[in-house]
């Protein structure tokens, strides 16, 4: 079992397509939960996209609006997921099966397969297993994504917190 310490923080990256909606929302929510539980020194949280469409851009304004309404800041800038991220991170969390497949395609040797998962694997109500892309769904789509991501991140952190050695 992996033990998470201050000296060896757990590195987690959330991944979607463009890194402007779902994955920065997950990064922001997860970091917020980590801070609330006073676990900040034990985790390094990041996000990325499998495409290069939005590199350098902030999170989508609708994602930011919803997060801000919940006291959460989305500070990240979009970046593309790279092959070296496979080694760098302890857990790679994809928002949907397409991005999961894109990430796994970078792992030709299958050395990192066990640490590449779907976020909704942790969702108490996993639905179809995917966090839908809210980009064209209006505010209702973004609200749905926020709710899915929040409860999934809470469950994920509950599981990881058991491995923290204070």
> Is 133 considered catalytic here?
yes
> Which member of 21, 22, 85, 153 is catalytic?
22
> Which member of 46, 79, 133, 153 is catalytic?
133
> Which member of 16, 46, 85, 120 is catalytic?
16
DSSP 124: S
d(CA 159, CA 33): 13
Cα 97 to chain centroid distance, Å, stands at 14
> Is 22 considered catalytic here?
yes
Residue among 139, 29, 144 nearest 93 (CA): 29
Helix (H, G, I), strand (E, B) or coil at 109: coil
In 3-state terms the chain splits into helix, strand, coil percentages (rounded to 5) of 40, 15, 40
Q: Which residue has the tokens 């949280």?
A: 45
d(CA 133, CA 22): 7
Q: Which residues are catalytically annotated?
A: 16, 22, 133
């Amino acid at each position: 079992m992996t033990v998470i310490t201050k000296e060896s923080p757990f590195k987690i990256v959330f991944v979607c397509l463009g890194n402007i909606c779902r994955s920065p929302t997950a990064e922001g929510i997860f970091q917020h939960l980590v801070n609330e539980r006073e676990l900040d020194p034990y985790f390094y949280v990041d996000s990325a996209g499998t495409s290069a469409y939005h590199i350098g851009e902030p999170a989508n304004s609708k994602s930011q609006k919803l997060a801000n309404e919940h006291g959460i800041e989305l500070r990240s800038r979009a970046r593309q997921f790279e092959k070296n991220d496979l080694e760098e991170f302890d857990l790679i969390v994809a928002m949907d099966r397409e991005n999961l497949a894109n990430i796994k395609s970078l792992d030709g040797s299958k050395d990192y397969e066990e640490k590449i998962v779907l976020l909704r694997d942790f969702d108490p109500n996993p639905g179809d297993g995917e966090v839908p892309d809210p980009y064209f769904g209006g505010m209702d789509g973004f609200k749905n994504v926020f709710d899915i991501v929040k409860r999934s991140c809470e469950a994920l952190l509950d599981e990881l917190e058991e491995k923290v050695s204070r």
